[in-house]
Structure 1
Amino acid sequence: MDTRTGLPVVGMVGGGQLARMTHQAAIALGQSLRVLAASPDDGAALVAADVQYGDHSDLAALRTFAKGCDVVTFDHEHVPTEAVRELVSSGVSVYPGPDALVFAQDKRAMRQRLSALGAPVPRWRPISSAEDLRAFGDEVGWPVVAKAVRGGYDGRGVWMLAQGDPLPSGVELIAEERVALRRELAVQVARSPFGQVAAYPVVETVQREGICVEVLAPAPDLPSTLAVAAQQLAIDIATALDVVGMLAVELFEVDGGLVVNELAMRPHNSGHWTIEGARTSQFEQHLRAVLDYPMGETALTAPAVAMANVLGGPPGGIALDERLHHLFAADPGAKVHLYGKQLRPGRKVGHVTVLGDDMEAVRARAARAARWLQEGR
């Protein structure tokens, strides 16, 4: 408890943009957010008042960080499961807990658990040799998708393998069939220790080279029956895995239904639109959930919401500050969020959200704004 405010202290392991935006939500709630960052240059470390520095895999650093926190949560899934268990065993309230978090950390464990629950998943198999891969590919058809069991994100740790391709070396793998998808969707739910759940509208996510570049809320032309089924699926998964906090379920829409692709147990890129586009942002909702507060409303604030990620562009051109001047003059309704990151080609450095009545119009405005911030034109 923060004695200055009489309100809880939430510790967030990781100092990236998710912690930065959670800090913004904490301010409105009067909460004190403590951040464990790796560097003073981390996005959250640039803005938060209570920052400690340390390695998220160092148990001693985690123990020191957790002292005085009412609850500890995460802005990424890379904290070793064993370290999370040690924190819990020493009396620290950690959400999501290790028995849930492992299913966002370990793709093999996730596939095994979801399969046992009867959730729709691609056909998959653990792979340890070229013979394993060949047998699986011959069974489900080529090419197949190979994934690192741990550590992959934003297209990293994922390989599309044709017949005869060598296995990636030095990493544990699973292989999945290549799903004939119509598009990619995502649904987010929040769950509290009490068991209350709140689901957000289903969104469409647009990927390019393994990186999400657009999110459209609600997912255009999605039948209401399928939208409800996606929300119920996410609620069922959150409940079965005992998730506390935000859960993002990445989905493939296929002929005849849905297939679960990935899980994330934290605020997620597919929910950044909620800052302006929903009654309660995913960042406030995550805080409410881990503190066991009642959930906030998740309804849209406009009929159509489009979010576009801002990626680092080629070096040179006009300065970022000048790009903001031009963008705001051209589109004063565009809402910009920059993460305090150094610009590097292809790196997520921010996002833009646009609200309106027509999806195609807001999508075009968001894409134009993101492109201007990336390229200066």
Structure 2
Amino acid sequence: MTQAPGPRRAEGGFPVVGIIGGGQLARMSQPPAINLSITLSVLAESETASAALVTPHAPVGDHTDLEVVRAFARHVDVITFDHEHVPPQVISALIDDGVPVHPGPEALLHAQDKIVMRRRLTELGIPCPRWTAAQTAADVAAFGEEIGWPVIAKTPRGGYDGKGVRRISSPEEVTDWLELVGQDGPMREGVLLEEAVDFVRELAVMVGRSPSGQAATWPVVETVQTNSICTEVIAPAPGLDDDLATRIGEAALRIAGELGVTGVMAVELFEVRDGETGGAAYLVNELAMRPHNSGHWTIDGAVTSQFEQHLRAVLDLPLGDPSARQEWTVMANVLGGEHPDLYPTYRHLMARDPGLKIHLYGKGVRPGRKLGHVTVTGDGDLEALRERARHAADYLQGVIDE
């Protein structure tokens, strides 16, 4: 780890929050931290990591190296995470050292291991897709024959944005994964198989929970996926049945409480039709125990953003109001295109749409890479808001030039 002095603490007894991981989530925590006079310290992957560019104390180190993480933790009051990839044994060692860590390893494991997550949610009676952990080709064949092909195969650990996910129609399509079952690695317990859900749309809800047990949810949102990457979030989800929205919010609060989550958690869901009644229902797809892309709209669209709420939660401060500021908020993700220079786009976008909010993450341009997002808010015409957000994202990506 690059040697550096400890973070400079603000006068007045304000704490230092340590974030393991220097990605865009840590970067976007900096504005609310500044407003609250909270000092952030980031254990970054490199000197050019997104958060390292805006955080004065950002030593470089490997999040899997216990001694590196311990050295980092000596200078902070609480530890939290930019991602879920810190090994449980590293987190447990910090707790043994007396360092407050949020979320703790028992909760975080449910976001690190999809089989563990599926097993626990099933025990709690939370609606999920039908699933199994397959260890052999025969297991895969039996599951496919039981529920019908194709099925969704996932690596239990490490997958995101469509990585580690396959839509398969035979056991042969996961032979390489099955060969890794029983070995140390993402397939140690087996390959996760799930039914291919015939869903109406994808939804998500964010929940914040403090160590004292206070919890609050934001409105349920609709997420739009393109090639397995989220490209748009609409808050709140248009036309969502009020009863279903209530049930989803209650489920998120129950999951957070039962798993002992501290901080912010995203619950990603499928909206489906109940097979018996034909009414609206849901299935939980994924959990993420950190600020999440589906909650970026809260920066401009909610009274309290997910980033401020996460800081409040991990410090066990009273939580903020998660209510929406206006009737609609639309967020569009900006993906890398063919144009490496993004700053020249500002003049056109800001002149064309003064109400547009642009959030870029300080990343180098690479085709398909998430570089940032844009947000528009307003009342009334939702389609007009969506068009404004799409235009801005497309212009930043170089899809359009006017």
Q: TM-score, normalization: structure 2? A: 0.91
Partner of 1:368: 391
More displaced stretch, 360-369 vs 165-174: 165-174
Task: Describe the superposition over 1:29-55 as per-residue Cα deviations: whole angstroms up to 9, x where unpaired.
Answer: 110010010101111000011111100
Q: Do residues 238 (structure 1) and 260 (structure 2) align?
A: no
Partner of 1:49: 56
Question: 2:212, 2:9 → 1: CA distance?
Answer: 23
Counterpart residue identity of residue 17, structure 1: Q
Partner of 2:344: 322
Task: Describe the superposition over 1:83-136 as per-residue Cα deviations: whole angstroms up to 9, x where unpaired.
Answer: 111111111100000010000000010001001111101111111222111110
Question: 1:320, 1:298 → 2: CA distance?
Answer: 32
- Report the RMSD for the aligned CA atoms in angstroms: 1.2
Candidates 289, 296, 308, aligned match of 2:320: 296
Partner of 2:142: 135
Contact persistence 2:21–2:81 (CA under 8 A): yes
Q: Do residues 175 (structure 1) and 182 (structure 2) align?
A: no
Question: 1:320, 1:328 → 2: CA distance?
Answer: 13
Q: Do residues 222 (structure 1) and 240 (structure 2) align?
A: yes
- Offset of residue 68 of structure 1: 2.4
Do the aligned partners of residues 180 and 22 (structure 1) sit closer, same or farther apart at CA in structure 2, a change above 3 Å counting?
same
Aligned pairs for 1:153-302 (under 5 A) are 153-163=160-170, 165-167=172-174, 168-169=176-177, 170=180, 171-172=186-187, 173-256=191-274, 257-302=281-326
Question: 1:3, 1:203 → 2: CA distance?
Answer: 37
Aligned identity (percent) is 55
Counterpart residue identity of residue 300, structure 1: A
SS at match of 1:68: coil
Q: Do residues 35 (structure 1) and 42 (structure 2) align?
A: yes
Question: 2:156, 2:75 → 1: CA distance?
Answer: 34
Contact persistence 1:130–1:166 (CA under 8 A): no
In the alignment of these two chains, the number of paired residues is: 375
SS at match of 1:84: helix
Contact persistence 1:154–1:210 (CA under 8 A): yes
Contact persistence 2:357–2:374 (CA under 8 A): yes
Q: Do residues 306 (structure 1) and 313 (structure 2) align?
A: no
Counterpart residue identity of residue 268, structure 1: H
SS at match of 1:53: coil
SS at match of 2:266: strand
SS at match of 1:110: helix
SS at match of 2:58: strand
- Offset of residue 326 of structure 1: 1.0
Counterpart residue identity of residue 38, structure 1: E
Contact persistence 1:252–1:259 (CA under 8 A): yes
Q: Do residues 336 (structure 1) and 358 (structure 2) align?
A: yes
Do the aligned partners of residues 150 and 164 (structure 1) sit closer, same or farther apart at CA in structure 2, a change above 3 Å counting?
closer
Partner of 1:96: 103
- Offset of residue 4 of structure 1: 3.1
Contact persistence 2:140–2:171 (CA under 8 A): no
More displaced stretch, 212-221 vs 66-75: 66-75
- Offset of residue 164 of structure 1: 5.2
Contact persistence 2:162–2:229 (CA under 8 A): yes
SS at match of 2:35: helix
- Offset of residue 6 of structure 1: 1.5
Partner of 2:278: none
Contact persistence 1:5–1:30 (CA under 8 A): no
Partner of 1:348: 370
Partner of 2:3: none
Candidates 60, 66, 78, aligned match of 2:67: 60
Structure 1 residues without counterparts, runs of 5 or longer: none
SS at match of 1:45: helix
Q: Do residues 120 (structure 1) and 127 (structure 2) align?
A: yes
Contact persistence 1:185–1:251 (CA under 8 A): yes
Question: 2:166, 2:101 → 1: CA distance?
Answer: 33
Q: Do residues 70 (structure 1) and 93 (structure 2) align?
A: no
Counterpart residue identity of residue 290, structure 1: V
Question: 2:111, 2:372 → 1: CA distance?
Answer: 24
Contact persistence 1:312–1:345 (CA under 8 A): yes
Question: 1:260, 1:5 → 2: CA distance?
Answer: 43
Question: 2:358, 2:72 → 1: CA distance?
Answer: 31
